Amino acid sequence: MHEEWTDKLSDYLDDELSPRERQAVESHLRGCAECAAVLDDLTRVVERAQRLDRRPPRADLWDGIAARIETRGAAPRRVSFTLPQLAAAAVVLIAASAGIAWQFADRAASRSADIARSTEAQSRASSGYEAPAEREPSAERSNIDIAHVSFADAQYDAAVSDFEKALQNGRRRLDKTTIAIVEHNLQIIDQAIEQARQALETDPANDYLSGHLVDARRRKLDLLRRAAALTIESD
Amino acid sequence: MLAELVFSMTAMTTTDQTVQVAKGSKLDVNNFAGDVNVKVWDRDSVRVEVTHSDREAIDIKQDEQILRIRGRSLRGGPPRSLDYTITVPGWMAINVNGTYADVTLEGVGGDVAIETTRGDIKVRGGSGFISLKSVQGDISLEKAKGRVEVRAVNEGMHLVDINGDLSAETTNGSIILDRIDSGNVDLYTVNGNISYDGPIKDRGVYRLTTHNGMIAMPVAERVNATLTLRTYNGSIRSSFQLTPPSGDDAQKRNKRMTVTLGNGSAHVELESFGGAISLRRPGEPRPETEQRRRPRERVKVDMPDIDQIVEDALAGAFEYAPHPVPVPVPLPMPMPMPVPRPR
């Protein structure tokens, strides 16, 4: 494993290295098939992301994300990732990049870097990785800032979790029928999410499925937020 | 028995009050349970009629440019069910909130914002910004213009004669639209059909998405639009010949297709994960209206009928397919949900 080099590949792709660093990376790549393969993966990922349609973000999703950013006071985090993580992330990204791309199309200042970095966020989120604000201090030593990209998944999961807790805490304030309706519809959305995920597993390059999955997840967040609000209004 | 006795002893009274309002004023009603019926007249005043027991009071307060109407229990807690009839000037903006409230607005002409947890919403009229939200309840809107946002959860919606930007979402229900005149449409449901009826305007944006249901839309012969049709487990059908770019194989054409008509200036995205996408010419019958109808189901917590889902999807897909196509093979595990029917 050459973590010291893989850490630099994203910056290399973005042409953000000094001439000396760039020369060193190129020299290493000539002799390291593993790192060259990772670079190829990243290059394909970035190229694919750049070809994606730019869809306007659905405002409601961003509201939820923005609220979380404010409440956490999220300062940019710098974390590292390992070669296996990176390699796995490249695969995951093929499936997830469409959703990430449109969510942040108008906000990301550094598009290609973000997409590459989002691989890690996606990978960690899919494996149950913790939210950025809860990472170990040692994770802050690396050169890659993924905080704003990771909201696409880790922060989403955290937001869903928060709303679920709020709904759980306030469910006694709702009548049983309303609770049944909400839970039934959450179940419907979960089924849709699961079906979209399964479809993505068999067809990971399908950008329609990626976007569809994002839409379904946004819908779940919307419904949870609305249900949580009902518990407050009924108080 | 005891409750009936107590109720019979409760004295009933009627509040009937008329309040002058200045142009530009807004009506704000909060009714925990019961009906809110709003109609219009040609006077710059608001009449509030409600029958209630002597254990409730009706507060009608005017401040700034808002007329607020609230029911209040004199013994604490929410008031019993109250049925309001409110007459307003046609220009007045209306805001109604409720938990178990059915809301009906007839002929209103200003902004409309209605939110109820469990109750039907029926609005005729509205101009400017129109927002209708219900968790469980039918939503229907007619003859509205401006920016329309409709949000349901466990029920469908029916929108007719709408002029302006339109956004509608539900989770478990169909979205049925008739005579829509809009260049900006965004419709989304997880489990339900989407039926659109209206012209595609140059440079318009139309996004219709469902996870489990059919999408039906008319496309005129001379239209300037780029159609992006995508499904995963459904199929694409058209009552007219679609000419996708050469090179697409038949399998892909049945699932994903981008077609440019005219100069392609409007963007039309139709996406259904598990259902058919059905295009037709204006004036041709709508596929979903041909299907037999089921009585209204409210809270659908019953087990789904998977055979019915497949049957309906296929029926809708093939009834209007003039070009014979291979039967799409449903996934081994189709969306296990009941498919709501338009009423």
* Residue-wise pLDDT tens digits, B109-157: 999 999 999 999 999 999 999 999 999 999 999 999 999 999 999 999 9
Nearest to B65 by CA among B99, B105, B121, B22: B22
- Tell me the two tokens of residue B126: 């509205």
> Are residues B81 and B118 in contact, defined by beta-carbon separation less than 8 angstroms?
no
**Residue in the block written with tokens 């050169």:** A143
Res B336 pLDDT > 60: no
Return the residue in B273, B277, B306 with the most chain A beta carbons within 10 A, the one to mutate for interface testing: B273
| Over residues A66-70, mean pLDDT | 52
Least confident interval from B36-40, B188-192, B246-250: B246-250
The answer to whether the Cβ–Cβ distance between B337 and A223 falls below 8 Å is: no
Q: Which residues of B touch A196 (CB under 8 A)?
A: 211, 273
Q: What is the 3-state secondary structure (H, E, C) of chain B?
A: CHHHHHHHHCCEEEEEEEEECCCCCEEEEEEEEEEEEEEEECCCEEEEEEEEECCEEEEEEEECCEEEEEEEECCCCCCCCCEEEEEEECCCEEEEEEEEEEEEEEEECCCEEEEEEECCEEEEECEEEEEEEEEECCEEEEEEEEEEEEECCCCCEEEEEEEEEEEEEEEECCEEEEEEECCEEEEEEEECCEECCCCCCCCCEEEEEEEECCEEEECCCCCCEEEEEEECCCCEEECCCCCCCCCCCHHHHCCEEEEEECCCCEEEEEEECCCCEEEECCCCCCHHHHCCCCCCCCCCCCCCCHHHHHHHHHHHHHHCCCCCCCCCCCCCCCCCCCCCCCC
Q: Which residues of A touch B (CB under 8 A)?
A: 177-178, 180-182, 184-185, 188-189, 191-192, 195-196, 199, 203, 206, 208-209, 211-212, 215-216, 219, 222-223, 226, 230, 233-234
Residue B128 sits at the vertex; the CA angle it makes with B154 and A230, to the nearest 5 degrees, is 35
- Please list the residues that pair with B210 across neighbouring strands: B189, B272
Q: Tell whether B127 is within 8 A of chain A (Cβ).
A: no
> How far is C-alpha A104 from the chain's CA centre?
10
pLDDT, tens digit (0-9, with 9 covering 90-100), for B231-288 = 999 999 999 988 766 655 655 667 889 999 999 999 999 999 999 999 999 999 887 6
What percentage of chain B carries pLDDT values higher than 90? Answer: 69
**Whether pLDDT at B301 is above 60:** no
Residue extents of the structural domains in chain A: 3-233
Give which of A103, A135, A137 is closest to A120, Cα–Cα. Answer: A135
* Inter-chain CB proximity A206 and B232 less than 8 Å: yes
Query: Cβ separation of B212 and A192 shorter than 8 Å?
Result: yes
Residue reference for tokens 């590949």:
A9
Of B167-176, B198-207, B226-235, B310-319, minimum mean pLDDT range: B310-319
Q: Which residues of B touch A185 (CB under 8 A)?
A: 153-154, 171-172, 190
A193/chain B closest Cα distance in angstroms:
9
- For A184, the closest chain B residue by CA position comes to B301
Q: Provide the token pair at A185.
A: 């519809």
**What is the spatial distance between Cα B102 and Cα B121, in angstroms, rounded to a whole number?**
6
Q: Is A199 within 8 Å of B118 when comparing Cβ atoms? A: no
Cβ(B334)–Cβ(B312) under 8 Å?
A: no
Find residue B96's DSSP bridge partners. Answer: B29, B114
Q: Kindly report the length of chain B.
A: 343
Query: Could you tell me which of B105, B57, B47, B118 has the C-alpha nearest to residue B82?
Result: B57
* Contacts for A173 with CB less than 8 Å, ≥ 6 apart: A231, A234, A235
3 state SS for chain A? CCHHHHHHHHHHHCCCCCHHHHHHHHHHHHHCHHHHHHHHHHHHHHHHHHHCCCCCCCHHHHHHHHHHHHHHCCCCCEECCCHHHHHHHHHHHHHHHHHHHHHHCCCCCCHHHHHHHHHHHHHHHHCCCCCHHHCCHHHHHCCEECHHHHHHHHHHHHHHHHHHHHHHHHHHHCCHHHHHHHHHHHHHHHHHHHHHHHHHHHCCCCHHHHHHHHHHHHHHHHHHHHHHHHHHHCC
Q: For residue range A123-174, list pLDDT tens digits in order.
A: 333 333 333 333 333 333 333 333 333 345 777 888 888 888 888 888 888 8
Which pLDDT does position A234 carry in this prediction? Answer: 64
Nearest Cα to Cα of residue B172 among A184, A78, A9, A28: A184
Q: Is B205 on the interface with A (CB under 8 A)?
A: no
Which residues of B fall within a CB distance of 8 Å from A219?
169, 171, 188, 190
> B299: nearest CA in chain A?
A181
Q: Do B136 and A209 touch (CB under 8 A)?
A: no
Average pLDDT for B105-109: 97
Q: Which two tokens stand for residue B20?
A: 């002058």
ipTM of the complex: 0.76
Classify burial at A176, counting beta carbons within 10 Å of its beta carbon; exposed 0-12, middle 13-18, buried 19 or more: exposed
Identify the closest residue of chain A to B186 by CA–CA distance: A58
